[in-house]
Amino acid sequence: MDMNDFEDWSARAAKWGAAYRKSLRDLPVRPRTAPGEILRRIPEAPPEAGEGMEAIFADFEQIIAPGMTHWQHPRFFAYFPANAAPVSVVAEYLVSAMAAQCMLWQTSPAATELETRMMSWLRAALGLPEGFTGVIQDSASTATLAAVLVMRERATAFGANHKGLRAFPQLRIYASEEVHSSIDRAVWISGIGVENLVKIPSAGPRHAMDAQALRAAIEADIAAGHQPAGVIGCVGGTSIGGCDDLAQVIAVAKEFDLYTHVDAAWAGSAMICPEFRHFWAGVEGADSVVFNPHKWLGAQFDCSAHFVKDPEALVRTLAAKPEYLKTPGAEDIVNYSEWSVPLGRRFRALKLWFLLRFHGLEGLRGIIRNHVTWAEGLCERLRAEPGFEIVTEPFLSLFSFRPVAPEGVDPDAHTLALLEAINADGRIYLTQTRVAGDLVIRFQAGSFEMTEADAETAFEVIAELARGL
């Protein structure tokens, strides 16, 4: 492809993207396709000779696009959206065109220094103290894995990387029952083993980790000859919004000199609003914190903000420094690949720069406040509607509910029937979870393009289809 064709097809791709975003409200949130249907339309073998872009682009429009779930849809109420504000998409066009590998300062000085400044901006926006510095990871899963690896190394006097875990007592990590599955994965990928992730019971209206139970579990492990390594706190669990009392949890961890990591993947964005910061009171005592700007702040995926108090511990855990990765004469520079599990790094800071400058913090606060208000309003409407039960109260913009099953009908089957009817209808998209063993439906408001009318549509769809059961 020569540069003239590159210019033409880049313009066409951008034009398609704009038309796509304009048309989202008219599309079902999930595609109406069966498993394997798209696969059968794609040849089993690659072409021997190159094909023209017209044919390739036509197949994209006819085969691929209709089979996508529309994550930017304003009525995407499932999981938590991976938002992509249009201004951040524009920044990603530029990043893709430059195609820089930003592993070292010398491989992209502007990328490194902009990342440093953007993490400083985010820290200040969240109200975190100056003692935190940070790095942009690809996802909260990677940031949590990095934190668990630091826990592992710190608990073994930075010996596990060299000697392996067999040389040390059995390490233990502690977290509440409400943490995301990425915590389980981080513990098993780290080699500690998921059986050594101790899940502490949660209780109360915020489904918070029981601090006394945490202390008892740590003491029992010490008595059994195990080595406690760290505690992971939760602010806004993905399932129902579980939120630990960080001040209590961190205080217990400090009694035993344990590293503390806070997972605030989706809810952390709300902390740009001062009125929501009580949800993570005590966070200043944590050793590391992660939240995802690619969720509620609207940055194009992937973009996860990982704050640490002691970057030296992170670098000591993760850095590999062969001669070919050194920058002679500039030993005091930051190489963010040494703060990350992968060596290769994308230029993620540019979309944050565009996003924060274009919307401003007050513009982003307005979006988050609206989502919280609209979710709370929908919760109250469903509470007042006959035949519905609110199972967990709103945490920010997330709550759960279920339909009341008729006598003799299995409640889980009744709930699943409503969920399947809603998602088959296509106007909105919801997902399920379990609370105390019971199947419930989650609702969260977080789409960057959502309006109050979309919350109204959600109520109408839920109520209408529930009556149809």
Check which CATH number belongs to the domain holding 48 and give it. 1.20.1340.10
For the cut 70, the answer to whether the pLDDT of residue 329 exceeds it is no
Quote the CA–CA distance of 358 and 136 in Å, as a whole number.
20
Q: Is residue 49 included in any domain, yes or no?
A: yes
pLDDT number for residue 1: 86
pLDDT grade, residue 465 (50/70/90)?
A: very high
Question: How many CA atoms within 13 Å lie on the side-chain side of 12?
Answer: 13
pLDDT number for residue 165: 85
Quote the CA–CA distance of 338 and 72 in Å, as a whole number.
33
* pLDDT, mean of residues 253-262: 96
Residue owning tokens 């935190």: 132
Q: Is residue 89 included in any domain, yes or no?
A: no
Say yes or no: 246 and 338 in one domain: yes
Cβ pair 438, 412 in contact under 8 A: yes
Say yes or no: 127 and 253 in one domain: yes
Bond before 184 cis per omega within 30 degrees: no
Residues 146-176 pLDDT 10s: 999 999 999 999 998 999 888 899 999 999 9
Say yes or no: 63 and 118 in one domain: no
* pLDDT, mean of residues 384-411: 95
pLDDT number for residue 182: 87
Which helix or strand (DSSP H or E) is residue 317 part of? helix 311-318
* pLDDT, mean of residues 203-216: 92
Quote the CA–CA distance of 461 and 421 in Å, as a whole number.
10
Q: Is residue 126 included in any domain, yes or no?
A: yes
Q: Is residue 319 included in any domain, yes or no?
A: yes
Quote the CA–CA distance of 354 and 296 in Å, as a whole number.
16
Domain count for the chain, please give it: 3
Question: How many CA atoms within 13 Å lie on the side-chain side of 58?
Answer: 5
Q: Chain centroid to CA 35: how far?
A: 26
Say yes or no: 234 and 259 in one domain: yes
Q: Give the residue from 316, 346, 376 where a domain finishes.
A: 346
b/e 439-451 (16+ beta carbons within 10 angstroms → b): bbbbbbbbbbbbe
Written as one string, the DSSP assignment of 186-228 is: HHHHTTS-GGGEEEEPEETTTTEE-HHHHHHHHHHHHHTT-EE
Check which CATH number belongs to the domain holding 292 and give it. 3.40.640.10
Q: Is the pTM of this model over 0.85?
A: yes
Quote the CA–CA distance of 433 and 180 in Å, as a whole number.
12
Check which CATH number belongs to the domain holding 392 and give it. 3.90.1150.10
How would you class 90 by CB atoms within 10 Å of its CB: exposed for 0-12, middle for 13-18, buried for 19 or more?
middle
Say yes or no: 245 and 114 in one domain: yes
Residues 130-140 pLDDT 10s: 999 999 999 98
Say yes or no: 65 and 120 in one domain: no
pLDDT number for residue 322: 67
Residues 296-310 pLDDT 10s: 999 999 999 999 999
Q: Give the residue from 313, 346, 379 where a domain finishes.
A: 346
* pLDDT, mean of residues 202-217: 92
Say yes or no: 373 and 450 in one domain: yes
User: DSSP code of 76?
Assistant: B
Q: Which of 456, 433, 466 is nearest to 78 (CA)?
A: 433
Q: Is residue 272 included in any domain, yes or no?
A: yes
b/e 168-205 (16+ beta carbons within 10 angstroms → b): bbebbbbbbbbbbebbebbbeebebeeebbbbbebeee
Residues 79-111 pLDDT 10s: 888 899 999 999 999 999 888 888 877 788 888
**Residue 385 corresponds to which tokens in the numbers above?**
């509607």
pLDDT number for residue 445: 96
Cβ pair 305, 94 in contact under 8 A: no
Strand 388-395's sheet: what is its strand order? 388-395, 398-403, 438-444, 431-435
pLDDT number for residue 299: 93
Q: Which residues are within 8 A (CB) of 389 and not within 5 positions of it... i.e. 6 or more apart?
A: 401, 402, 403, 404
pLDDT grade, residue 324 (50/70/90)?
A: low
Q: Is residue 356 included in any domain, yes or no?
A: no
Q: Is residue 82 included in any domain, yes or no?
A: no
| Residue 32 to residues 43, 119, 426, Cα–Cα distance (Å) | 21, 40, 9
Say yes or no: 185 and 282 in one domain: yes
Say yes or no: 191 and 134 in one domain: yes
Q: Which of 371, 352, 175 is nearest to 276 (CA)?
A: 371
pLDDT number for residue 321: 75
Q: Give the residue from 59, 74, 89 where a domain finishes.
A: 74
User: DSSP code of 354?
Assistant: H
Which helix or strand (DSSP H or E) is residue 381 part of? helix 349-384
Quote the CA–CA distance of 345 and 396 in Å, as a whole number.
32
What residues form DSSP beta bridges with 388? 403
Q: Is residue 250 included in any domain, yes or no?
A: yes
b/e 105-117 (16+ beta carbons within 10 angstroms → b): bebbeebbebbbe
Three-state DSSP at 257 gives coil
Say yes or no: 426 and 333 in one domain: no
Q: What share of the chain is helix, strand, coil (3-state, %, to 5)?
A: 50, 15, 35
pLDDT number for residue 204: 86
pLDDT grade, residue 330 (50/70/90)?
A: low
For the cut 90, the answer to whether the pLDDT of residue 323 exceeds it is no
Say yes or no: 212 and 288 in one domain: yes
Q: In the predicted model, what is the mean pLDDT of the chain?
A: 92
Say yes or no: 339 and 372 in one domain: no
Residues 32-80 pLDDT 10s: 888 999 999 999 899 989 999 999 999 999 999 999 999 999 999 998 8
* pLDDT, mean of residues 428-455: 95
Domain that holds residue 166: 101-346
pLDDT number for residue 108: 87
